[in-house]
Amino acid sequence: MHAVIMAGGRGTRFWPRSREKKPKHLLDIMSAKTIIQETVDRVKPLIAPQNILVVTGKKHARELIKQLPEIPQKNIIIEPEGKNTAPCIGLAALYIQKKVGDDVMVVLPSDHAIGDSRKYTEVIAAATQFAAKENALVTIGIKPSSVQTGFGYIEYGDSFQHIGKEEVFRVKSIREKPDFSQAQTFVQSGNFYWNSGMFIWKASIILDEISRCLPDLYSGLMKIKKVLGTAKEAVTIRSVYKKLTSISIDYGVMEKADNIFMLRGDFGWSDVGSWDALWEILVKDNKGNAVTGSNVIFEDTEGSLVYSPQKLVAIVGAKDLIVVETKDALLICKKGRSQDVKKVVATLAAAKTKKYL
């Protein structure tokens, strides 16, 4: 069994903490450890470090090697440019096949939070057992707690079998990022779970699906496969990636596949996709205020989040605010609007103010 941790992305909704050189998964947002360190720690009871692969970009490889000393450096796979999750997963599958012939691969985002690690381990273990036996595409669904348009949705059907205590369901369809009206209908129906972005399958099975659904990507991957482990590997990967269309595994494969199964991820999941999402999972006082830092004063304030590890911050007579202080920037945002922080990053990029990016 191998784990593949996808460590790309910029985390623009976590500005000003998240920057191009140090995106969200490389930050210690929820504890003394960084998010990717927590991701690796969660999977280690099932998968030894030598079988954990991390796919990332050149900008972040050195920091990942520093943060994850237990992961062999050869397991840090560097993409020459980000082309979304389908090429990332396909490339990792090639490395696994080169190493062991074939194996179940547990594909995980690098930047999610899990409340119950024991339950998480049980669910992933059951999913890997099922994927190995049934040659299926397996995903983990999260029961919706609200209507969200930023997540994909999984329409699940009949119960297929039990693996220990865990129930496996057939999947009727995958619906990526619906509009609000569709998402509301999905949630109200009770037949849809959020798509967690966690996938479990054999390397050979996902490559077969890529061949069927994304033939151009598959053709590029086969060019890379021929030169893995040779002096031509790096230049071939660069050449192939330049020509690839950027596409997610969800749009490219999962929406088209018909051998998909789901296990329920009832283990306290959050994608920690914004400051609002962080407020949801942090411990709060009796007025709903959450703090990261030790020098914050609230006066007649409720429902707010403050991140300030160094400066004294005082908030008076406020409600539902997000305040984030770093050494060179200050963010003040109305709670519920933190998805729009990425617009600030876009404005900074357009103004070419690189020092803040």
User: Does 72 lie in the same domain as 217?
Assistant: yes
Contact 29, 272 (CB under 8 A): yes
**Domain match, 135 and 86 both:** yes
The closest alpha carbon to 161, from 187, 196, 136, belongs to 136
DSSP state string for 322-346 = EEEE-SS-EEEEETT-GGGHHHHHH
Distance CA 65, CA 68 (A): 5
Q: Report d(CA 305, CA 289) in Å as an integer.
A: 6
Same domain, 321 and 175: no
210 with 343, same domain: the answer is no
Per the CB < 8 A criterion, the answer to whether 19 and 328 are in contact is no
DSSP symbols for 131-148:
HHHH--EEEEEE--SS--
What's the rounded Cα separation, in Å, for the pair 119 and 125?
10
Q: DSSP character for 246?
A: P
Chunked mean pLDDT (size 10), the chain, 357 residues: 90 84 86 91 96 94 94 95 95 96 95 92 97 94 88 92 94 89 91 94 97 96 95 95 94 93 94 87 92 88 92 93 92 90 90 87
Same domain? For 174 and 235 the reply is: yes
- Domain residue limits at 93: 2-270
Question: Residue 302 class from Cβ within 10 Å (0-12 exposed, 13-18 middle, 19+ buried)?
Answer: middle
Angstrom distance (rounded) from CA 271 to CA 309: 23
Domain-terminating residue out of 218, 237, 270? 270
Please tell me whether residues 283 and 266 are part of one structural domain.
no
Secondary structure (3-state) at 261: strand
Domain limit, last residue, from 244, 270, 296: 270
The residues, any chain, with a CB within 8 Å of residue 38's CB and separated by 6 or more, are: 30, 31, 113, 114
3-state SS of the chain: helix, strand, coil percent to 5? 40, 25, 35
| CB of 295 closer than 8 Å to CB of 308 | yes
Vertex 218 angle, CA 217 and 220, to 5° = 65
Domains of the chain: total = 2
Question: Do 210 and 346 belong to one domain?
Answer: no
CA distance 291 to 307: 6
Q: What is the CATH number of the domain that holds 228?
A: 3.90.550.10
Enter the tokens of residue 216: 């151009």
Q: What are the strands, taking DSSP E only, across 112-191?
A: 113-114, 137-142, 153-163, 166-175
- Identify the sign of the CA torsion 344, 197, 94, 73: positive
Of 105, 108, 274, 284, the C-alpha closest to 201 is 105
Closest CA to 81 of 302, 284, 310, 238: 238
d(CA 99, CA 75): 11
Q: Does 259 lie in the same domain as 288?
A: no
Q: How far apart are CA 76 and CA 27, in angstroms?
A: 18
Orientation of helix 215-227 relative to helix 85-100, angle to 10°? 40
175 shares its domain with 303: no
Give the 3-state secondary structure of residue 114.
strand
Residues 178 and 261 in one domain: yes
Cis omega (within 30 of 0) for bond into 309: no
In angstroms, rounded to a whole number, what is the distance separating the alpha carbons of residues 119 and 127? 12
The predicted pLDDT at position 11 comes to 66
Task: Determine phi and psi for 125, rounding to 5 degrees.
Answer: -60, -45
**Among candidate residues 240, 270, 300, the one where a domain is terminated:** 270
pTM: 0.90
Cα distance between residue 95 and residue 89, in whole Å? 10
Strands 192-202 and 313-316: unpaired
pLDDT for 23 equals: 87
Same domain, residue pair 198 and 341: no
Whether residue 160 is found in the same domain as residue 307: no
